[in-house]
Structure 1
Amino acid sequence: MRGKLLQLLMKTSNTFISGQEISENLGISRTAVWKHIEELRKNGYQLEAVPRKGYRLLHTPNHASADEIEALLTTNKIGKNIIFKNEVTTTQELAHELARNDASEGTIIVADQQLQGKGRLGREWHSPPGTGLWFSLILRPDVPPQKAPQLTLLTAVAVTEGIYEAAGIEAEIKWPNDILIDGRKTAGILTEMQSEPDRVQAVIIGIGLNINQQPEHFPDELLSKATSLSIAKGNKIFQRANVIAAILGRFESWYYQYLNHGFDQVRKRWEALAVTIGKEITATTVTKTVKGTAEGITDDGVLLLRKMNGEIEHIYSADIE
């Protein structure tokens, strides 16, 4: 309910809205309105109250809280159940637990800080408080387990488009799961699955996105490799809830396109946004290093690499340079 109240206050922030009007819009009592207003104030929202005029929102803190995200969401299903935590070990860990306990599709788990954030291959993901977005999304698609990797590629498209919608920044995708701005990493995607041999029970997609970090927020070894939306826009500070709302909106659009019409359009859009395609690259797998030209991806998300001798190598998992 506070999310709907906040949405109403955001829409009328250039004027006052009366307690009676809020009461009628939300279907709650004037006393309940006052209690929700006080809760918003306790959470850092600055509200002006004037007798016979009503309430006006003056300032929104950059919390990316459940209320703030709910107020900005335009989706029908994705993100309609929001669980926000100030601090977690990882959002993926909590999402797995919730998925095993029948959490609904579209549930998102958002944290202000992860203590043990992780990326692909168990690598550490640096996730300090108050700076970025660290969240996991629970899906229950009716697809065979071997198709689940397609959702990583779909998510990369949604994150890239969401960044452009919210920040006006043209990011690029590096296969398989990195989002780059000016050649430096700003987001990573981790897809994990709960399944039976022939059926997906849940797909949990974790997204880590650097938004308002400044150079001092990064460890020295990451300064030349990582960036944020803020750095890319000359230290502009972004409302994190705006960014996640844009990403979830783009995700929902692509997700239902995928479920209803298959992977083809997702694949084409991914290839259009990918920095990898058409480039000479070096792919390092657990067993070998292969050099060649990245020609595209298969419907299963496998990278097609044309080697110097003309042969096509299928790359399932690798580090790309």
Structure 2
Amino acid sequence: MYDLNNISSYLNTNIIGKSIIQYDNLNSTFVKAKNIFATCPDGTVVLSEDQSECILRFGNEWVCMPDENIYLSIILKSVNNNYLLPLIDAAGCNSIVKSIWDLYKINCKIKWPNDILINGNKLASLKSDIAGKGAGIILSLNINVNMEEKIESLKSTSLKIEKNEDIERELLIGTILNNFENHYNEVISTGKALDLVDSYNKNLLFYNEEVGVVKRGRKTVRRVLVKNIDSEGWLVVINEKGEEEILSPGEMIIQYEET
């Protein structure tokens, strides 16, 4: 189990992580956070050593390793608009990338909208959704930390594999939560988060490269050029007509095979 006193000692937040609840095993921290949303203060963090049913965005499943990785969800009550979900995702992604660079000098890339990769291998994935009958948002983070072997079929890696040493999970959690609160404050105060977006775009995978996109329920794949995310967290691309187009993760599947 986590040493919660250790995590608290690394925090310099006002809201995020001031209340932490941990479990040995859950179906998922995301579901648990939604179930206890009404009774918990803003910024509550739900931790678990293992998850048996970690379902990500669009039904994809995250393979969990007990006692090795980080599985946590954050209850956010200062945002209650699903229009801000892309920026909450961006805040989570950028917090992970910045924390890993600051602590371990490992360069990660963000695969929009919600995956973190190292050299093409998946390290982390996020999920966010409205909770509490629209009263707030749950952000869930799943990070491979001390997993010892790559899962080749899933193209997954871990910080331990990349750094070749054990990683202190409490330090990483504390650092991520500190960085997240900084981004979160910008989102709730401005609704645009220009500093967050600028930092995110510097870590965007396939910047200025072509990817395939297909509308959900369709089969036709279009080629587009990735530019950046905009001030609201949507992906900006140049389409086959040479026109700027804004993509929504809820409408489009992004195929990131390199050309």
User: Normalising by the residue count of structure 2, what TM-score does the alignment of the two structures yield?
Assistant: 0.90
Q: Tell me which residue corresponds to 2:160.
A: 230
The answer (yes or no) to whether the contact 1:145–1:195 under 8 Å persists in 2 is no
**Residue of 199, 202, 208 corresponding to 2:142:** 208
**Residue of 180, 192, 198 corresponding to 2:129:** 192
How many Å separate the matches in 2 of 1:284 and 1:175?
A: 15
Compare CA radii of gyration and give the structure with the larger one: 1
1:214-256 CA-partner distances (Å, limit 9, x unpaired): 226x3x522xx111111111x2110111111110011111111
Write the mapping of 1:91-102 to structure 2, written as runs, cut at 5 A: 91-99=29-37, 101-102=38-39
CA RMSD of aligned residues (A): 1.8
Task: Give 1:68 shift.
Answer: 3.0
Which AA in structure 1 matches 2:166? I
> Is 1:77 aligned to 2:77, yes or no?
no
> Is 1:290 aligned to 2:235, yes or no?
no
Q: For the structure 1 residues 299 and 276, does the alpha-carbon distance in structure 2 shift closer, same or farther, using more than 3 Å as the test?
A: same
Write the mapping of 1:60-209 to structure 2, written as runs, cut at 5 A: 63-99=1-37, 101-142=38-79, 144-194=81-131, 200-209=134-143
The answer (yes or no) to whether the contact 2:228–2:235 under 8 Å persists in 1 is yes
Q: Tell me which residue corresponds to 1:280.
A: 210
Q: For the structure 1 residues 195 and 290, does the alpha-carbon distance in structure 2 shift closer, same or farther, using more than 3 Å as the test?
A: farther
Q: Tell me which residue corresponds to 1:309.
A: 241
Task: Give 1:142 shift.
Answer: 4.2
How many Å separate the matches in 2 of 1:145 and 1:275?
A: 25
How many Å separate the matches in 2 of 1:90 and 1:143?
A: 22
1:110-129 CA-partner distances (Å, limit 9, x unpaired): 00000111222111101111
Which AA in structure 1 matches 2:34? H
How many Å separate the matches in 1 of 2:122 and 2:195?
A: 25
> Is 1:319 aligned to 2:254, yes or no?
yes
The answer (yes or no) to whether the contact 2:79–2:137 under 8 Å persists in 1 is no
Structure 2 spans left out of the alignment, 5+ residues: none
Which AA in structure 1 matches 2:255? I
How many Å separate the matches in 1 of 2:141 and 2:214?
A: 24
Q: For the structure 1 residues 227 and 142, does the alpha-carbon distance in structure 2 shift closer, same or farther, using more than 3 Å as the test?
A: closer
Q: For the structure 1 residues 284 and 84, does the alpha-carbon distance in structure 2 shift closer, same or farther, using more than 3 Å as the test?
A: same
The answer (yes or no) to whether the contact 2:86–2:113 under 8 Å persists in 1 is no
The answer (yes or no) to whether the contact 2:114–2:127 under 8 Å persists in 1 is yes
Structure 1 spans left out of the alignment, 5+ residues: 1-62
Q: Percent identity?
A: 25
Q: For the structure 1 residues 73 and 214, does the alpha-carbon distance in structure 2 shift closer, same or farther, using more than 3 Å as the test?
A: same
**How many pairs does the alignment contain?**
250
Q: For the structure 1 residues 203 and 142, does the alpha-carbon distance in structure 2 shift closer, same or farther, using more than 3 Å as the test?
A: closer
**Residue of 243, 246, 263 corresponding to 2:193:** 263
Q: Tell me which residue corresponds to 1:39.
A: none
Q: Which has the higher contact order (CA 8 A, sep 6+)?
A: 2
Write the mapping of 1:3-18 to structure 2, written as runs, cut at 5 A: none
The answer (yes or no) to whether the contact 1:140–1:201 under 8 Å persists in 2 is yes
The answer (yes or no) to whether the contact 1:165–1:246 under 8 Å persists in 2 is no
Task: Give 1:173 shift.
Answer: 0.7
Write the mapping of 1:38-57 to structure 2, written as runs, cut at 5 A: none
**Residue of 183, 204, 212 corresponding to 1:254:** 183
How many Å separate the matches in 2 of 1:228 and 1:285?
A: 32
How many Å separate the matches in 2 of 1:186 and 1:117?
A: 15
Point out 4+ residue stretches in structure 1 off by more than 6 angstroms: none
